[in-house]
Chains A and B, each alone.
Chain A
Amino acid sequence: NAGVTQTPKFRVLKTGQSMTLLCAQDMNHEYMYWYRQDPGMGLRLIHYSVGEGTTAKGEVPDGYNVSRLKKQNFLLGLESAAPSQTSVYFCASSYSSRENTLLGTDTQYFGPGTRLTVL
């Protein structure tokens, strides 16, 4: 049971390049999330998914797209990378809703992160 895994662990891009970050979970979780973590800013939600084939915007969705074609995978895409997207990206998953993680009846499990630098 690997939990939540992220690929790649590190990446350096030039401005304008595109890339896709892959998140995979083997816990049969319905809900998956993408966060970014920046110094002095804390964790911020980019996009999330409440099930296969569905996605929704979080707090900072601009410049990112996501897809959830398979239940176990959640992809985060950057179509035209900008230096402002330099960050550490974390994927998370939970069995039930984000509200339940809020109510303490569930929890979000985080992946190890992807360190992205955009030059």
Chain B
Amino acid sequence: QKEVEQDPGPLSVPEGAIVSLNCTYSNSAFQYFMWYRQYSRKGPELLMYTYSSGNKEDGRFTAQVDKSSKYISLFIRDSQPSDSATYLCAMSAGTGNQFYFGTGTSLTVIP
């Protein structure tokens, strides 16, 4: 079983839609959760970061962690064509531990 599971999509939505991206994980020791955005032919860039459970909001983006269900989500409100990218989740148990990345979900926002 993979440490982190992420639906690869592709996901296609109309502009203005609310997008929900998700990852599940198996290691209950994970405490640090990140979302990266990767444009085509580019390296990943950190989008959101959350520690432990709860929600974190940054503009149109909301990261949510449910440790009891081992499930994390990234919500994008009022999606824009510029949001079209691959979104990778990443997580870790803490300092000195390795990162585990999801395989990424490809998102296209249609104007």
Q: Interface on A for B, CB 8 Å cutoff?
A: 4, 39-45, 58-59, 90, 92, 98-99, 101-104, 107-113
The reply to whether B95 and A99 contact each other, CB–CB distance below 8 Å, is yes
| B41–A104 touching, CB < 8 Å | no
CA A98 to CA B100, docked complex, whole Å: 13
Asked if B94 and A102 make an inter-chain contact with CB atoms under 8 angstroms apart, the answer reads yes
B residues near A (Cβ < 8 Å) are: 4, 6, 8, 32, 41-46, 49, 51, 88, 90, 92, 94-104
Given contacts A99-B95, A103-B95, contact A108 B46 (CB under 8 A): yes
In the complex, which of the residues B6, B92, B99 has the most CB atoms of chain A within 10 Å of its own CB atom? B99
Most A-side CB within 10 Å, residue of B44, B98, B104? B44
Cβ-defined contact, A41 with B103, below 8 A: yes
Q: Is the CB of B44 within 8 A of A110?
A: yes
Contact A102 B95 (CB under 8 A): yes
Establish whether residues B101 and A112, one from each chain, have CB atoms under 8 Å apart when the complex forms.
no
Point out the residues of chain B lying under 8 angstroms from A42, CB to CB.
4, 6, 88, 100-104
Residues of A within 8 A of B94 (CB): 102
Residues of A within 8 A of B95 (CB): 99, 102-103
CB-based closest 4 A-B pairs: A110-B43, A42-B101, A99-B95, A43-B101
Q: Could you say which of B46, B88, B103 contacts A40, with CB atoms under 8 Å apart? A: B103
Q: Is the Cβ of A92 less than 8 Å from the Cβ of B103?
A: no
Say how far B50's CB is from chain A's closest CB, in angstroms: 8
Q: Which residues does chain B contribute within 8 Å of A58, judged by CB atoms?
A: 98
Contacts of B43 in A (CB 8 A): 4, 90, 92, 109-113
